[in-house]
Amino acid sequence: EVQLVETGGGLIQPGRSLRLSCAASGFSVNNNYMNWVRQAPGKGLEWISVFYSGGNTYYADSVKGRFTLSRDTSRNTVDLQMSSLRADDTAVYYCAKGAYGHGRSPLYAMDVWGQGTTVIVSS
Amino acid sequence: DTQMTQSPSSLSASVGDRVTITCRASQSINFYLSWYQQKPGRAPKLLIYAASNLQSGVPSRFSGSGSGTHFTLTINNLEPEDFATYYCQEGNSPPWTFGQGTKVEMK
């Protein structure tokens, strides 16, 4: 079964760092593009980053320079290192697998989602 | 960066109704437009990809259309389980963006 499980959320003080992990099962993160999406309380969805299978990474302007993606092939995880956290980073953070069409052409959509992990930035 | 304008932000409908939600992109995104359904406390669920393709397992009452900058999601014969919030998402080039969401409520 294809599944994603996020861990690492919690209560963290402003300015501190936190690392989220997304563990995949049923597929390899190495061969897929993996995304992080967040949702602040009562708000809409915000795409924040993607790790392409070839190794390129992209970030939303709101997190660029503060958040960093990494991939661990042995653990089959994609991690999100978050630094200089602010109150407006408070959200549920979802990991999502990129979707492919025929012939493994990327569709730039997200077809498998984790259950999310909650990050609360507060003093 | 591409901005996505989704409308309406909310609507009231009854079981059996036809519902249409619109997303407009600030620039052409070709057909890289997806639609998601989200229920409270749950992760989003992919409904439509590449503007008009139904994701496996999604009921055929859901359909998508459009290209370039104007896209629509239509739900025919609304069912009780369809009351939820719907989001469009562009994937033309990163950073990707979501629409603001449309909450479909029971009339």
Query: Using CA atoms, how far apart are residues B13 and B54, in angstroms rounded to an integer?
Result: 23
Proportion of chain A above pLDDT 70, given as a percent: 100
Q: Could you tell me the pLDDT band of residue B107, with boundaries at 50, 70 and 90? A: very high
Q: What is the pLDDT of residues A10-33, one digit of tens each?
A: 999 999 999 999 999 999 999 999
Residues in chain A: 123
A107 touches chain B (CB under 8 A): yes
Query: Using CA atoms, how far apart are residues A10 and A86, in angstroms rounded to an integer?
Result: 14
Q: What is the pLDDT of residues B12-63, one digit of tens each?
A: 999 999 999 999 999 999 999 999 999 999 999 999 999 999 999 999 999 9
Residue of A103 and A84 predicted with greater confidence: A84
Are B25 and B32 in contact, with CB atoms under 8 Å apart? no
Q: What is the pLDDT of residues B62-94, one digit of tens each?
A: 999 999 999 999 999 999 999 999 999 999 999
Closest to A109 (Cβ–Cβ): which among B43, B91, B95? B91
Q: B43 to chain A, minimum CA–CA distance in Å?
A: 6
* Contact at CB, A44 and B87, closer than 8 angstroms: yes
Are B6 and B25 in contact, with CB atoms under 8 Å apart? no
Positions of E strands within A3-105 = 3-7, 10-12, 18-25, 34-39, 45-51, 57-59, 67-72, 77-82, 91-100
pLDDT at position A102 over 90: no
A residues 23-62 lying closer than 8 A (beta carbon) to B: 37, 44-47, 50, 58-61
- Mean residue pLDDT across chain A: 97
Q: Could you tell me the pLDDT band of residue A103, with boundaries at 50, 70 and 90? A: confident
- Which residues of chain B have a CB within 8 Å of the CB of A109? 32, 34, 46, 49-50, 89, 91
